[in-house]
Amino acid sequence: MAGGEEAGRARAADWVRRRLGYQPRDPALFEQALRHRSAGSGHNERLEFLGDAVLNLVVAGHLYRQYPEADEGALSRLRASVVSGESLARVAMALEIGPALALGAGELKTGGFRRESILADAFEAVCGAVFLESGFEAARELFLRALAPSLAGLDAAALNAAEGQKDAKTRLQEWLQGQGMPLPHYQVLEVNGESHAQTFRVSCRIDAVKASAEGEGHSRRRAEQAAAQRLLRDLGL
């Protein structure tokens, strides 16, 4: 039993060191952060409560500084997209958190180590653990780095909305209507990756002017926006 606990701590500490580049002082705290409630007492729900608040502030501070023109509503929407369960699960998956988790037998059997909510919650709990152990500034640096792809990938639609502009698909459609032309055709060309981390490649075509462009994104909607954005640029709009 004690041997099992020790192994759990060592595995947790090892993951935190290798994947986050953080040296835990208290491996037991990180074992708890990676322990789902299905694995019994000492699980990560309290740390998740704390880590959720840490991530909210880390991202709020970043967006506040990054988008000085965005109003309160736009900042809220941008943050929601970065700290959504889906987005955090993607980050957690990129950090290969799954094999580091402690799960109960039932969750193990049904593939809980791939379940979005379990991954996202564990990621939040790890953030809470770093905050407890090393304070806000350390957590901020570490998790801004981990969230960098999500922050860089804030989609054009959200950014335009943040700047009070319309999204690319809407602008393209309105321009076409103004020219008396039919709506563009969007077509999915390719879907890559497993169901939790898919990438879509989409084309946007305007037959009337024989113009087309492609875009990629983690959802069909985002890929379409990216394609429309590129086409707007190609058309000099």
User: Which member of 31, 107, 124, 224 is catalytic?
Assistant: 124
Cβ neighbours around 207 below 10 Å, total: 11
Under the binding rule (CB under 8 A), the answer on residue 42 touching a copy of itself is no
User: Which member of 52, 116, 133, 216 is catalytic?
Assistant: 52
Under the binding rule (CB under 8 A), the answer on residue 45 touching a copy of itself is yes
Spatial neighbors of 35 by CB under 8 A, at least 6 apart, are 8, 42, 43, 44, 101, 102
**Min CB(217)–a copy of itself separation in Å:** 26
Under the binding rule (CB under 8 A), the answer on residue 235 touching a copy of itself is no
Q: Which position among 46, 145, 166, 185 is part of the footprint of a copy of itself (CB under 8 A)? A: 46
Active site residue 121: no
Active site residue 124: yes
Cβ-based nearer residue to a copy of itself, 71 or 163: 71
Cβ-based nearer residue to a copy of itself, 107 or 124: 124
Under the binding rule (CB under 8 A), the answer on residue 163 touching a copy of itself is no
Give residues 104-143 in contact with a copy of itself (rule: CB under 8 A).
128, 131-132, 135-137
- Which residues are designated catalytic? 52, 124
Q: Which residues bind a copy of itself (CB under 8 A)?
A: 45-46, 48-50, 53-54, 56-57, 60-61, 64, 70-72, 75-76, 128, 131-132, 135-137
